[in-house]
Amino acid sequence: MAGQPTLLLFLPFLLLFPLAASHNITTMLAKFSDFSTFSDLLTRTQVASDINSRKTITVLAVNNDAMSSASGQPTDALKKILSLHVVLDYYDGDKIHKLPNRSAILTTLFQSSGVASDRSGFLNVTDMDDGQVSLGSAVPGSSLDANFVKVLETQPYNISVLQISSVIVPPGLSDGAAPKASPAPSKSAAPSLAPSGAAASPASNATSPSADSSNATSPSADSSNATSPSADSPTSGAPATSPAEAMAVDGTPAGAPSDVADGPAGDSSAADGLTVGGGAAAAMGFALLGCLWMS
C-alpha cells in the first residue's frame, strides 16, 4: 500500500513523456528509402529537431530525385529551404483537397525563424481546376511549381507527412552566394599626373640643343636666358658681345665657343676637334722649345 502513493505521484510524468516524444520525423521517413536524402538533410540542418519538438504540423517531403536540385546548397540556405517545407498546421489528404475558396496561405517554420522577409516564409496552396493541388512561395509573382503527390504517413492532428513533386524555393533564396562586390572607385590621384607631365615637357625642350637651334631664325625666349658665352671665356678685358649683336647670317652666334648649347651638333664637334688639335700643337711646341733651351 505504501508504494501506491509514490506510483500515483509519478503517473502524470509517465503520461506526459510519451506525448512529448510522440513522433520522430527521421524514424517516419526511414520507412521510405526514396526519401533518404530529404531525411539526412533534415538532420544535418537540425530542422528535424524543430519538427520533433512541435505538434500539429505538416511536413512536405521531396524524394531523392527532386531533392538533388537543392542538395548542393550551403547549410544555411538549405535550412531556410527545408524550414519552408514544414507547415505550422495539420493537413492530410482530405483537408488539402477541401481548402476554403480553393486556396490558402500557409505559415511555415521558416516564417517563425524571424529571418524571412517579403512573405518568403509563407506558402500559397491552390486547388487547381483540373483537381491538382499546387503549391509555391507566397512572394508576389512566384509560380506554383510543386504539386501534391500523395500522403506518406499521418498521426491525426499531430503530424502529417505529404509528398510533393519538387522543392519550393522562394525568390532570392535560390543560392547562398554573397552579393557581388561593387567595383572599386578609380584613384583620384590619376588626373593629377597629367598636369605634372605637361609641365615637364617645356623644360625638356628647353634643355635640348637641337630643338631650339634647328628652326630658329632669331634668338628665342629660352636662348636669351641661357648662359652667355662670355661667362665661360677667359677675362681678357674684351667686351662681352650679346647674342643679338653677334648673330651671323645662318643664325649661329659669331665667335661662339665650342660648348654653345644652341649650336648645331655637327659644327660643335668640328670646333671641339680644332680646339683640341690646336692645344696639342701648342703643347708640343713648348716642349720642343724647352728641350732646345736645356740643351
Residue range 14-164 forms a domain whose CATH class is mainly beta
pLDDT at residue 268 in the model: 42
Residue 106 has pLDDT above 60, yes or no: yes
What integer best gives the mean pLDDT of the chain?
Answer: 71
Express as a percent the part of the chain with pLDDT over 70: 52
171 pLDDT band, cuts 50/70/90, is confident
Q: What is the pLDDT of residue 126?
A: 97
The predicted model gives 155-161 an average pLDDT of 96
- Three-state helix/strand/coil letters over the chain: CCHHHHHHHHHHHHHHHHHHCCCCHHHHHCCCHHHHHHHHHHHHCCHHHHHHCCCCEEEEECCHHHHCCCCCCCHHHHHHHHHCCEECCCCCHHHHCCCHHHEEEEEEHHHHCCCCCCCCCEEEEEECCCCCEEEEECCCCCCCCEEEEEEEEEECCCEEEEEECCCCCCCCCCCCCCCCCCCCCCCCCCCCHHHHHHHHHHHHHHHCHHHHHCCCCCCCHHHHCCCCHHHHCCCCCCCCCCCCCCECCCCCECCCCCCCCCCCHHHHHHHHHHHHHHHHHHHHHHHHHHHHHHC
For range 259-273, the mean pLDDT: 42
Q: Summarize pLDDT for 112-139 with one digit per residue, the tens.
A: 999 898 899 999 999 998 889 999 999 9
> At residue 88, does pLDDT exceed 80?
yes
What is the residue extent of each domain of the chain?
Answer: 14-164, 264-295
Residue 254 has pLDDT above 90, yes or no: no
Residue 174 has what pLDDT? 55
pTM (2 d.p.): 0.55
